[in-house]
Amino acid sequence: MTIRQTRFTLAALAGLALLGACGSGDAPAAPEASETATVLDNGMTVTEVVDARQTHLKAVGKAFKTISDNLKAGEPDMAAIQAAAASVPTETADMGYWFPEGSGPASGVKTDALPAIWENKADLDSKIADFQAAAATLASTAEAGDIAAISEAFNATGATCKSCHETYRADD
Ligand code: HEC
């Protein structure tokens, strides 16, 4: 869903760049663009895929910080917690498509995704499923509004982030 929106936006930008280039005579296409412009099985370039997953993960990181800050606050802002918790399943609904073959560091695109992802796809998928289940529970628990239960669901979800990062993300 969201990954397609990103693709559309980036494709529109690329189209604009091409239009701009039309006026500049017969200059050949920049050769350095070809490597990262390789189109993957999902129809996106490596750069688009990596940008999309990093953008979604940044948003998830921000939502997690909001929840964490509020859980530590004397008077937590329940509406802020609920909105942040609800955003996580939305941001990550298509996480199963974020790591297509060819979108690792060997592509030349800067990414913290480790090559181990593509050697253990079944394990990655099971970590994604664990995370998505925990995030769904966190969202529904936040909706119910009990701080102690939210705190527990938050920690359980955080453990699934950590479990994936330990194995599949660089610098962690
Ligand atoms: C199934 C694996 C997996 C799960 C689950 C996961 N992550 Fe990640 N995360 C990654 C990988 C891989 C990267 C590196 C992505 C890249 O650079 O292409 C990453 C990167 C990030 C980044 C950095 C994004 C950027 O480029 O600035 C943040 C922040 C982040 N994750 C937060 C979280 C949080 C918070 C959770 C849990 C709520 C979570 N992640 C769950 C695998 C995962």
Of ligand 1's atoms, which has the minimum distance to the CA of residue 64? Answer: 35
Cα 165 to ligand 1 centre (Å): 7
- CATH number, domain of 46, equals 1.20.120.10
Query: Cα(84)–Cα(165) distance, rounded to whole angstroms?
Result: 21
For the chain, strand residue ranges (E) read: none
Task: Give 114-170 pLDDT, tens digit per residue.
Answer: 999 999 999 999 999 999 999 999 999 999 999 999 999 999 999 999 999 999 999
Residues 10-65: pLDDT tens digits?
A: 433 343 333 333 434 454 444 444 556 788 888 899 999 999 999 999 999 999 99
User: Residue-wise over 59-97: b if at least 16 C-beta within 10 A, else e?
Assistant: bbeebbebbeebeeeeebeeeebbebbbbbbebbeebee
d(CA 140, CA 124): 24
Q: What digits encode the pLDDT tens for the residues 57-113?
A: 999 999 999 999 999 998 999 999 999 999 999 999 999 999 999 999 999 999 999
Residues with Cβ within 6 A of ligand 1?
50, 53-54, 57-58, 60-61, 64, 111-113, 124, 127-128, 131, 157, 160-161, 164-165, 168-169
Count of structural domains within the chain? 1
What distance in angstroms lies between residue 24's CA and the mean position of ligand 1's atoms? 40
Alpha carbons 55 and 61: distance in angstroms, whole number: 10
Strand, coil or helix: 164: helix
- State the closest ligand 1 atom to the C-alpha of 63, by its place in the atom list counted from 1: 35
Count of C-beta atoms within a 10 Å radius of residue 137: 17
Q: Among residues 71, 74, 76, 89, which one has the least CA distance to residue 151?
A: 71
- Its domain, for residue 135, covers 2-168
